[in-house]
Every structure is written in structure tokens, then in C-alpha cells.
Copies of this chain bind each other. A is one copy, B any other.
Amino acid sequence: MNEFELIKRFIAPFGAPSSPAGPGDDCAVLPPTRGSVVTTDAVVEGVHFTRRTFSLEDVGHKALAVNLSDLAAMAATPTWFVCALGLPADVETADVQALARGMAALAKVHGARLVGGNVTRSLQLSLTITAAGEARHPLLRSGAKPGDGVYVSGQLGDAAAGLELLREHATPSGDEARLIAAQRRPAPHLAWAHAAARDVSAAIDVSDGLLQDLGHLCLASGVGADLDSSALPISEALLSVSGSRARAADFALRGGEDYVVLATVPEARRTAFERRMGRAGLAAFRLGTTSRKAGVRLDGQPVGKRTGFVHFD
């Protein structure tokens, strides 16, 4: 199968493009915007997944999900994305269609439109996506002030625990399967971000572990933070599988790939924010508060330097 046939098969599940838009010309043509945001993120075989532990639908889903999570952190509404594929020689037409199916299903949920792409040979299967969203007032990492509440949009640590289970070749129990699903199929928290946006002073998505990403937000905002370990949102599945609250808390604090939104909310907005999220049926887990004093502390103790999941060092 040649490059052009392969591209045709890949884009089929995404439905017909509406004009003005690609794919099919040298560039995709995009409509005017009143302000947008853009992000790029890749998933690479052997680094972010293996074909033994992920289905190709999972891979297609996750490649887009990690980009949409960046859009969620800015409270942006997904608009378009492009996908560059690196395909090893043993990847067949059916494989490419499976990647596309997983990606297209998630794209449809969030209204993100595939407008272009690229295909090249490579030794590792890789998907590099660039995704854009509309955001007239994007949330930044730098807006937190001392005394803001620190919230996350969902439970922490499941995906990292799921990764360990995948490595162990386990035949998963129900709880284990939940954690593995969190690893394979992260769900970008776009609805949460849109509901929260008006009260939020700063936000980031948690991809490298809570402590590390909170550290980035604090540094960008010029604040520190105090967290309460008892407030960490830990799923029943994680608690059950990890065997102890301490071990579960370690996944929640340092495990990567949660893809929840971490947001700060000024004290003056606290009541309105918590009530509004509650009325919308959305969890808002309050972990602590930001502080004038730099650094992140857990139950009063400074957290170490090596705080999270580092893909690369």
C-alpha cells in the first residue's frame, strides 16, 4: 500500500471534512479565529506504550487525549488537529485503521476536527499530534496568588498504578482493569475546565505527577503551596490494588499521566465555585492552598526535588 492509499484509509473514520479545511492540499485552510491556543504532544512506541500492552485503538485514543488535556488546562474548546504518523514496516492497513478508529471516536466526542497529517516510515510506531482550540480568555499557569485554593478535577494515581500492572503481565481483576483503563484511555477533563474557568486563577494539566506539575504552576505564579495528604483523591480501585493508603498516596503524588486539571481558585470565589461545580455534578477536590512562601509542602514537610514522573533524563 502506498502513502496516498494509506492516508485515505486513515482519514476515513473521521468523516468528510467540512470546508474550509483539509486534509488534501499542501495545507489545511482554517477559518478566522478571535483567539486560539495550540499544543503538540507525541506518543512513541517503547516510551509511552507497547503494542503488547496497548491495542492500536488505545494508542490512537491516547495520542489525541494527551493533547486535548493540554487544551482542557487552558479551558479551550477543541477545534482542529493534525496528526503525523511514524509507521514501522510491519504496520498494516488494518493497524492504521485501528489507530484511526480510536482517535476518531475521541475526536467526535470533543468536536475536534482532523484537518491534516503526514506519514513517514520509522522504526517505532509514533503519533505526533498538534491540536488547537478556541479560547478567548485562556487559563495560564501564572495567575495564582497566595491563599488560593488548590483543586484537581479527578482522582490521582490510577494511570501510574495501571502502568505497573501492565508491566507485570497480570491477568487483571476488576479493580486492576480500572487502573489499566486509566492508563490506556485517559479522558481529557474538558467539561470540568469549561465549568470551572470563570473562577480559576491558574491551571495546568497533571501529566508528570501532581507534585511536579503543581511545582510548575507555583514557579510560573511565584507562589508556593501547602497540601494536605488526607485530602488526596484516591480511587477505591487504587486503594484496593496498592494495599495501603501510603502506597496509594505515593502514586497520587508522584505518578504520571493522570490527565486531570489542576486549578487554583481565589478564596473569594471558593463558595461560588464549589457550589457551582457540585450543581453540575463535577468533582472539585481541594488539596490545600497556595502560599507566599516558595516550594511545595505536604503536611508541612517540604517535598523532595525528584517529585514526579520524568519521561526524559
Contacts and interface: CB of A to CB of B under 8 A. Distances in A.
B128 A2 contact: no
A159 interface: no
Interface string A1-16: 1110010000000000
A33 B132 CA distance: 13
Given A6-B312, A26-B73, A42-B86, A48 B140 contact: no
Contacts of A122: 44, 47, 124, 126
A193 B121 CA distance: 30
B32 A39 contact: no
Contact of A74 (B25, B37, B120, B141): B25
Contacts of A116: 38-40
Contacts of A26: 39, 70-71, 73-74, 141, 203-205
B74 A42 contact: no
Given A27-B76, A124-B123, A117 B40 contact: yes
Contacts of A73: 26-27
Contacts of A86: 42, 44, 126
Interface in A10-68: 24-42, 44, 46-48
B84 A128 contact: yes
Given A47-B121, A126-B122, A313-B1, A115 B35 contact: no
Residue of A32, A38, A71 most packed against chain B (CB within 10 A): A38
B42 A84 contact: yes
A2 B313 contact: yes
Nearest to A72: B26
A138 B33 CA distance: 16
B32 A34 contact: yes
A121 to B, nearest CB: 5
B82 A27 contact: no
Contacts of A28: 37-39
A147 interface: no
A133 interface: yes
Nearest to A6: B312
A230 interface: no
A192 interface: no
Q: What are the nearest 5 A-B pairs in CB distance?
A: A27-B37, A130-B130, A26-B73, A2-B313, A3-B312
